Chains A and B, each alone.
Chain A
Amino acid sequence: MTIDNLVQIDHVTFGYDRRRLILTDVSLEFPRGKVVAIMGSSGSGKTTLLRLIGGVIRPQSGTILFDGEPVDPSDTDKLFAVRRRLGMLFQFGALFTDLNTFENVAFPLREHTNLPDSMIRDIVLLKLNAVGLRGAASLRIAEVSGGMARRIALARAIALDPELIMYDEPFAGLDPISVGVTANLIRSLNDATDATSLIVSHDVEECFQICDYAYLISSGRVAGHGTAAQLRASEDPEVRQFIRGEPDGPVRFHYPAGPIEQDLGLSG
């Protein structure tokens, strides 16, 4: 085990039922202080990896280590202790709609610390300032745009200065400017806080601009991994198809089916 890895996934196999495995014998490493991307097509198991690291689900086999300790979903106290050290940005923010912007960011501080209101106020405003939304502190969640909601959720995710920040499809559904802003924020926050960032995305170009290392998940296994330059230069057909966005290749366009003549009743 490399002590420089904050998170280590060793030979993990997982499926929501025994007949269909999502991940088969995958191993990944997430070095401290780095931005690592997990890429792959829809349904490849990227978000499942986040759920495994967060202890939401348990693998059928293999181990997941956080800072050298196994992530055990059955031990609630230990699991919650791990979760207090990580922050997660959900795909659509998952903001609490009954709280305003300020209270959303303050939520983890109020739940996990005994800080006085004045100090919480300062911390929240600093976090909102880091994502460019200090002026939006009093807005209700229904009043903010999708991009703003994503940034508020990011401010909430870093409220407790986590060691690991996980991003689930942070660029999905955003306009080009918001994508650029979000990517810039992910990189700058990671560098400023010395955190480790894990991005799940299928946005190749944005990930390559900000990540130090990347894994490509395909058909439930690691199809390729390396730096952006290494992956661009890869000759592996699955890696090439994904990086170049080719419509057909090892990942087939057509969902498995019999001959079309049979379905149309044309076979003799």
Chain B
Amino acid sequence: MAERIYRVVVADDEVHIRYLVKSIVRAEGYEVVGEANNGEDALALYRERRPDLLLMDINLPVKTGDEVLAEIMREFPDAKVMMLTMVADVNTVKKCLELGAVNYILKCSPVEEIRRMVREALHAEPGKEVGR
């Protein structure tokens, strides 16, 4: 049986970060089915393409990543949204975890760690959180 190819959307306002994340995702054999440079487009892309994973920054123009996360989780409770950000503030991390982000990784983490957490997020059961 052919292995399933996971579909990923990347949302970040910095083009070089999107480039890096896309190469990590593709190197894992996953498909990048869309990219957004602001929160509103990220939400629209999610609704339209229903990817297996949305990799999203928090400090996004138009609509912030945590606002988008809240809307997605309200509409699609089984959605997998992983935050990839430089925001390490405890309140923001808590908020995103409470809203249902499947994973949360700091951009300054080594590429191997980001790769591992993307894999972990994609292989977590829908509606279940990473961490066990």
Our verdict on whether A and B bind, yes or no, reads no
Chain B residues within CB distance 8 Å of chain A: none
Chain A residues within CB distance 8 Å of chain B: none
